[in-house]
Amino acid sequence: MSPRPLSGSSAADAAAIGREQTRQRVIEAAIDLLTRGGRDAVTTRAVAEGAGLQPPAIYRLFGDKDGLLDAVAEHGFATFLATKHVDPDPRDPIEDLRAGWNVAVEFGLANPALYTLMYSEPTRATSAAFKAGMEILMGRVRRLAAGGWLRVDEELAAQIIHATARGAVLTWLSLPEDRRNPALLTTLREAMVAAVTNQQPAVQDAGPAGAARALHAALPEQTTLSSAEQYLLREWLDRLAADG
């Protein structure tokens, strides 16, 4: 008995699946070339050959080489995101911060060419996976703030944490192997911890700044105040936190 022909929607679904599988094969071929030979090795001809396709297929799938590199970077961000462990209630929020920083740095050191590509263009901050990763970081920062541990405001804390991890990886990779001192990574991590956190929860101090940051972090979870009241209170808390 001959197979029944696919309906219009089934045929479209099968075509979409096939296209996505081909697209993934191309990305994997590009990552292999990138890992073995660096960015210059990722040519459309070499990628097409590695994926078992003709070069025009690359342009149909990604538009151009830049589109392909953007897709490779997005794949990198998604892979990195999958390595992140989220503990909604860490026993020690400072150690949780250190652990998260270590994960970011270890991913970069394990995937040097891919990491460099991911962070070589500022526009890649629009990546969906990058944004999801930053949301995880902001959650970690918010828990620090809620516990009174945060020394600076949440946005600045996230920027410092991200910048020190990124800088640590790129600096390490730029050094000759015989000059790579592990103390560099430890020192940068501890400098980050000292810059964004207090040695003791600030809510135990007499000053209002730490308490203001803790209340600011918890504000979105309450439902008693109206939107206008929340806006006004948030403005007051920002001013109090800035004085600390």
Mean pLDDT value across residues 14-28: 86
Instruction: Name the more confident of 231 and 35.
Output: 35
**Which pTM value belongs to this model?**
0.77
Dihedral sign from CA coordinates of 215, 220, 223, 229:
positive
pLDDT band at 206 (very low <50, low <70, confident <90, very high): very low
Give the CA count within 13 Å in the CB-facing half-sphere of 111: 23
Say which residues have a Cβ less than 8 Å from residue 96's Cβ, sequence separation at least 6. 87, 90, 140, 143
Tell me the pLDDT tens digit for each residue of 104-144: 999 999 999 999 999 988 878 888 999 999 999 999 999 89
Tell me the pLDDT tens digit for each residue of 222-234: 667 788 888 888 8
Alpha-carbon gap, residue 216 to 147, rounded angstroms: 11
Tell me the pLDDT tens digit for each residue of 142-196: 989 888 899 999 999 999 999 999 999 999 999 999 999 999 999 999 999 999 9
